[in-house]
Structure 1
Amino acid sequence: MNLKEKLQNNKLTIGSWISIGHPCVVEIMSNAGFEWLVIDFEHTSMNYETVQNLITTIQSKKIKALVRVCKNEEVIIKKVLDMGADGIIVPMIKNKADAIKAVEFAKYPPVGKRGVGLFRAQNYGLKFEEYKQWVDKNLIIIAQIEHYEAVENIEDIVNTDGIDGVIIGPYDLSGSLGFPGEYHRVEVKEAIAKVLKCCKRYNIPSGFHVIETDPKKLQEKINEGCTFLAYSIDFLFLSDNATKGMEIIKKDIK
């Protein structure tokens, strides 16, 4: 069962987040057993060329390459998909209108409004018809829920045709409620619970970006019913393991 099929059947799938724009990082992360990796094009210094190189590297490891685009904007989404991304995560989806825009920017007419051009995704012009069919059947579009307005409109968002699932961004969600970074506060937890409850009611994949590298934190989200889970991020895996190792070494030094 591929990623699209897992989303359609609301089955558990686990990936991670790429913020360091180097192919070696992707190759190392790919060896960990993730089913997909998200290239963060919103909060990093990556340019389009770097994003394309990382997409190619991820796909060479036989896993799915998703891109968290920097904005729900037509040209950005079109360019990333023409580079060959398997799907997109679209930030700051606040209502049904935002969700519809994301789908329209990603899909060709008559479903959407995506401009038709030839690049890597279409095998440089050799397989446009095949790619067009692939978009209809396999393209993944995830709405990122990271604002209190999105929580208020969550039912409309999850029921938008073309949206394959949602993923909660805990940091921005806490910020929109006035408590940036304090995603363990009661107010933030209540907002998250509302999203998860709605997804469960409609059998829509509910996602969460678990920032911590502690596997127990990921298990907590599985227990809550999340099925599209991003497990931490490249630089935290590096930082946490190096720090913990040095702490042990310093304790052992006589």
Structure 2
Amino acid sequence: MIKGFFTKTVSIEEINPSNIPKHVAIIMDGNGRWAKNKGLPRIAGHRAGMEAIKRVVKAANKVGVKIVTLFAFSTENWKRPEKEVNFLMSLPQEFLTKEINELNKQNVQVKIIGFDQNLPEHTLKAVHEAEKRTENNTGLILNFALNYGSRHEIVQATKAIVRDVLAGKITEQEIDETIFGQYMLTKNYPDPDLLIRTSGELRLSNFLLWQMAYTELYFTKAYWPEFNEQHFFEAIYEYQQRGRRFGGI
């Protein structure tokens, strides 16, 4: 359900602890525009966005969200200027190296979904090392969608199903939504309950299209670098005001 921009100031005491979204997906949008408005280069906005990630992790832990999936880099982002792409590829290493001890302290488990193709070795190494160093944590799952595109994911899943049918591992008659979902990159996670998109844009941008069939959509005009705990609480509160019927009455 798409609604207008939310304006109510919300305290954590107003959030119903019995109705917390288990999985929150976030499109972290507006880094470049935030920087431009301040007369700064775009890369300054991307670096400031790392601070917003830290704020969201703490806020999600406070209210009991189990999974946060961040759209960190899309398969379409390769079209950006080379200098900006190279900087974006350096951010996982910078962020995770700097924050790994704090993430462990907060019992956060780092995960990644996406496609390894084209990703620099140093980027992959940083993310996989963070996964390894946090694999025994039992708290919030911080899931980075890196070099991810939903249409590509669906195409790759379809190809994998075709291969398994031809190999006799499954039959055509066995294929249903549940089976198809097992071929998606998110097969180990529940579908997102809530999507947050910052910066005022009102689109999904090829993010988790299969998984968000019944996700509640929330949009804020705040740019990602200025997104804070209060913004996160507002999104959770608005989510709790909606009736989720999943096609029923």
**Same fold by TM-score greater than 0.5:** no
Q: Which has the higher contact order (CA 8 A, sep 6+)?
A: 2
TM-score scaled by length of structure 2 = 0.37
TM-score scaled by length of structure 1 = 0.37
